[in-house]
Homo-oligomer: A and B are copies of this chain.
Amino acid sequence: MFESAEIGRSIDKDTFEKQLPELREALLAAQYQLKEQGKLAVLILINGIEGAGKGETIKLLNEWMDARLIQVDTFDQQTDEELSRPPAWRYWRQLPAKGRTAIFFGNWYSQMFQGRVHGLFKDAQLDQYIDDTLSLERMLSDEGVLIFKFWFHLSKPQMKARLKSLRDDPLHSWRLSPLDWQQSKTYDKFIKVGERVLRRTSRDYAPWYVVEGVDPNYRSLTVARTLLDGLQAALQLNTKPQPQPHAAPLIANLDQRSLLDSLDMSQALSKDYYQQQLTQEQARLSSLMRDKRMRKHALVAVFEGNDAAGKGGAIRRVIGALDPRQYRIVPVAAPTDEERVQPYLWRFWRHIPARGKFTLFDRSWYGRVLVERVEGFCSPADWLRAYGEINDFEEQLSESGIVLVKFWLSIDQKTQLKRFKEREKIPFKRFKITEEDWRNREKWPQYREAVGDMVDRTSTEIAPWTLVEANDKRFARIKVLRTINDALEAAFAKD
């Protein structure tokens, strides 16, 4: 795979200097068009052999382009804030906004290369990381992130010569960390892992470019041209995303019946029994949250449901016995403009709790397959691919020890009407009922279908949906509390 990047390609000084002005001008023009169009972000991943000119090339790019629109990030040691959250959190927080470019050194590939070369895991685990990476990059690409992946290459003798000359140059010797030298010994391993990863992760939406790194003129022109071509092509492309032909419902559903129909909506609790259960379950949750084992976990609860199904009331009962320093409630409304220029899941990633903490989402990332689908706020291609993206996202939360519970609070149309009318009568509840609620009510069948699809496609073993019969508020609240407690206990039992 790397052979053709070891043949000693070079570009002489005259050719280089002749091409440069036109290239720089075109790069700048593309960069400003990117900014003005505001539809795409650019993400450049830098990997490869030590000494192959990664840093120098990026330095040049910053000089040639408008550095004010570029950010360069390194991901070395995780900070303690990063360590207490899922591994991908550190990348999400640094994603470039639309119109801007980010260059990631020490990205997710570096972790894979280093980990496998130093024997931290085997090929099977590597393949798992590769699959995760493909999902991530596919999703970023679908969300408007243009991905370039560069592997800077040197043959083994070239690398040895390069490292030696850098070591002897007093101006450059600071660059060489002990790790670099170690890599000289592990060159063969590194190449082997590199090949495996590049082969499997080079995709049309996120291709790898192998750049021969010996000659500075050659490597910098190559990277700049590749970027320019990719940018120009993407800027001219103006096709709408198309849904995949196989994006049909997961479960054939010809009779329009769904899980919602199987709920026994008549379930209710007496006031006394409710009070007793509430005290008991709240005490249980409070004690579980203070349990030492909670330090290894975090808790995320998602509240979705029909309008007026009692999400707010249920949330209040859940936090009733908790120390407010341990939890945070995130009400999900229209995205801010900083959220709008990022991939969809970004605005949820930023609220993922650290270990020991509890985040309650009052509405959530499921908005995409509910309100956005029904109201047409996003294209069918967008919400159809969201099911898989959400499952990937939740898997990452789960794998980092986050206990995830998801509630759909379900009421029937009659109950909703009654509650809407009650709300209109009580002065300080009137703000809760708007024109929009009445409009949503007219789309009851469409919402019902969306909920059915959502549950079918995203109720997984690691993050099952709990459908809550909520015609009786007391019944709903106890079911919610008990479900959270059971989930925490089950997670602790597995530790």
Q: Which residues does A use to contact B, with CB under 8 Å?
A: 25, 28-29, 32, 36, 55, 58-59, 62-63, 66-74, 79-81, 103, 105, 174, 290, 312, 315-316, 319-320, 322-325, 328-329, 331, 336-338, 362, 428, 431
Q: How far is the CA of A277 from the CA of B201 in the complex (A)?
A: 46
Taking a contact as CB atoms closer than 8 A, the residue among B36, B71, B81, B315 that contacts A328 in the complex is B71
Q: Are B320 and A68 in contact (CB under 8 A)?
A: no
Q: How far is the CA of A312 from the CA of B25 in the complex (A)?
A: 16
Closest Cβ of chain B: how far from A317's Cβ, in Å? 10
Taking a contact as CB atoms closer than 8 A, the residue among B80, B329, B431 that contacts A67 in the complex is B329
Number of copies: 2
- A318: nearest residue on chain B (CB-CB)? B67
Q: Are B103 and A324 in contact (CB under 8 A)?
A: yes
Taking a contact as CB atoms closer than 8 A, the residue among B59, B69, B79, B174 that contacts A324 in the complex is B59
A-B contact pairs, 26 of them (CB 8 A): A25-B428, A32-B428, A32-B431, A55-B324, A55-B325, A59-B323, A59-B324, A62-B319, A63-B319, A63-B320, A67-B315, A67-B324, A68-B329, A68-B362, A69-B331, A70-B324, A71-B328, A72-B325, A72-B328, A79-B79, A80-B80, A105-B325, A174-B290, A336-B337, A337-B337, A338-B338
List 11 additional A-B contacts (Cβ < 8 Å) besides A32-B431, A62-B319. Answer: A36-B431, A58-B324, A59-B322, A63-B319, A66-B312, A67-B319, A68-B315, A68-B362, A70-B324, A81-B81, A336-B337
Give every chain B residue within 8 A of A336 (Cβ-Cβ). 336-338
- A59: nearest residue on chain B (CB-CB)? B324
Q: Are B431 and A316 in contact (CB under 8 A)?
A: no
Give every chain B residue within 8 A of A337 (Cβ-Cβ). 336-338
Known: A29-B428, A336-B338, A428-B25. A324 touches B62 (CB 8 A): yes
Give every chain B residue within 8 A of A72 (Cβ-Cβ). 324-325, 328
Q: How far is the CA of A62 from the CA of B70 in the complex (A)?
A: 42
Give every chain B residue within 8 A of A36 (Cβ-Cβ). 431
Query: Which 5 A-B pairs have CB atoms at the shortest separation, nearest pair first?
Result: A72-B324, A68-B331, A68-B329, A74-B325, A62-B324
Closest Cβ of chain B: how far from A196's Cβ, in Å? 27
Give every chain B residue within 8 A of A338 (Cβ-Cβ). 336-338
Q: How far is the CA of A320 from the CA of B319 in the complex (A)?
A: 54
Q: How far is the CA of A319 from the CA of B338 in the complex (A)?
A: 27
Q: How far is the CA of A58 from the CA of B327 in the complex (A)?
A: 13
Q: How far is the CA of A33 from the CA of B79 in the complex (A)?
A: 40
- A431: nearest residue on chain B (CB-CB)? B32
Give every chain B residue within 8 A of A70 (Cβ-Cβ). 324, 329
Give every chain B residue within 8 A of A322 (Cβ-Cβ). 59
Q: How far is the CA of A362 from the CA of B331 in the complex (A)?
A: 35
Give every chain B residue within 8 A of A431 (Cβ-Cβ). 32, 36
Known: A103-B324, A290-B174, A336-B336. A312 touches B68 (CB 8 A): yes
- A105: nearest residue on chain B (CB-CB)? B325
Give every chain B residue within 8 A of A25 (Cβ-Cβ). 428
Q: How far is the CA of A316 from the CA of B63 in the complex (A)?
A: 7
Give every chain B residue within 8 A of A66 (Cβ-Cβ). 312
Closest Cβ of chain B: how far from A11's Cβ, in Å? 22
Q: How far is the CA of A70 from the CA of B319 in the complex (A)?
A: 13
Q: How far is the CA of A347 from the CA of B439 in the complex (A)?
A: 38
Q: How far is the CA of A329 from the CA of B71 in the complex (A)?
A: 8
- A103: nearest residue on chain B (CB-CB)? B324
Q: How far is the CA of A431 from the CA of B69 in the complex (A)?
A: 15
Q: How far is the CA of A323 from the CA of B103 in the complex (A)?
A: 13
Taking a contact as CB atoms closer than 8 A, the residue among B80, B105, B174 that contacts A79 in the complex is B80
Q: How far is the CA of A16 from the CA of B36 in the complex (A)?
A: 60
Q: How far is the CA of A324 from the CA of B102 in the complex (A)?
A: 11
Give every chain B residue within 8 A of A428 (Cβ-Cβ). 25, 28-29, 32
Closest Cβ of chain B: how far from A319's Cβ, in Å? 6
Give every chain B residue within 8 A of A319 (Cβ-Cβ). 62-63, 67
Closest Cβ of chain B: how far from A222's Cβ, in Å? 18
Q: How far is the CA of A362 from the CA of B58 in the complex (A)?
A: 21
Residue from A68, A290, A315 whose CB has the most chain B CB atoms within 10 Å = A68
Give every chain B residue within 8 A of A58 (Cβ-Cβ). 324
Give every chain B residue within 8 A of A174 (Cβ-Cβ). 290
Q: How far is the CA of A79 from the CA of B290 in the complex (A)?
A: 22
Q: How far is the CA of A319 from the CA of B66 in the complex (A)?
A: 12
Give every chain B residue within 8 A of A73 (Cβ-Cβ). 325
Q: How far is the CA of A36 from the CA of B430 in the complex (A)?
A: 14
Q: How far is the CA of A338 from the CA of B342 in the complex (A)?
A: 14
